[in-house]
Amino acid sequence: GDQVEQSPSALSLHEGTGSALRCNFTTTMRAVQWFRKNSRGSLINLFYLASGTKENGRLKSAFDSKERYSTLHIRDAQLEDSGTYFCAAEASGSWQLIFGSGTQLTVMP
Amino acid sequence: DAGVTQTPRHEVAEKGQTIILKCEPVSGHNDLFWYRQTKIQGLELLSYFRSKSLMEDGGAFKDRFKAEMLNSSFSTLKIQPTEPKDSAVYLCASSQTGDERLFFGHGTKLSVL
């Protein structure tokens, strides 16, 4: 079955508000990455976490290997934050990245 | 498992060889993407097909990389000739047209010696 479950699949926010995306894992993962899809279709790395939390501007990510989840928080959302966000996890002992299926974020005026 | 299937899982090639990576998308998905994973940037788009038509050929990867989609359920990525700098993980993903979410395969790890 799926090892990475990402939610929600779609999210609408008004400018200035915030919310969180979440990825749950069915097995222990050693690290997680969060990506955003750019206009050309490439996935740009936002965060890489082996544990704890990281913050960059209005984005903050957390990873709890033991509890098997990761989150991406967006605060003070702006129109340009609209896009599709993906999490991907590295299983222990494997080089493979296992992706969530993505969250389509729409920020409205 | 009805997800995206990529083969092989590992590929080892010598410089100058031709290698072919394979991908079977999720049944019913119209869009298919090939990516190369880099540590610095994330996933660079190599090719994008919609209903078997090539929509994006990845610009910088044109000369030695060729993706094809001979039918709606099978795609290949050919690298010819391989170079050591091509060593990377290559990922295939598919989606339903109009849905921005992607369903990824497990990837092929290519090592070029």
**CB environment A67-90: b (16+ within 10 A), e (fewer):** ebbbbbbbeebeeebebbbbbbbb
Q: Are A3 and A57 in contact (CB under 8 A)?
A: no
Q: Which residue of B has its CA nearest to A99?
A: B104
pLDDT tens for chain B, 113 residues: list them. 568 999 999 999 999 999 999 999 999 999 999 999 876 667 888 999 999 988 877 776 678 999 999 899 999 999 999 999 999 999 999 998 888 788 889 899 999 99
Tens-place pLDDT, residues A29-40: 999 999 998 877
Contact A60, A22 (CB under 8 A): no
Q: Are B46 and B35 in contact (CB under 8 A)?
A: yes
Count Cβ–Cβ pairs < 8 Å, chain A vs chain B.
Answer: 58
Residue of B nearest to A36 (CA): B42
DSSP A9: S
Nearest to B103 among A40, A83, A101 (CB): A101
By C-alpha distance, which of B43, B19, B29 is closest to B111?
B19
Q: Of A44, A96, A101, which is closest to B102 when you measure between CB atoms?
A: A101
Using DSSP, state whether A109 is helix, strand or coil: coil
Position A81 confidence tier, pLDDT thresholds 50, 70, 90: very high
- What pLDDT score does B40 carry? 64
Q: How far is B55 from chain A (nearest CA, A)?
A: 11
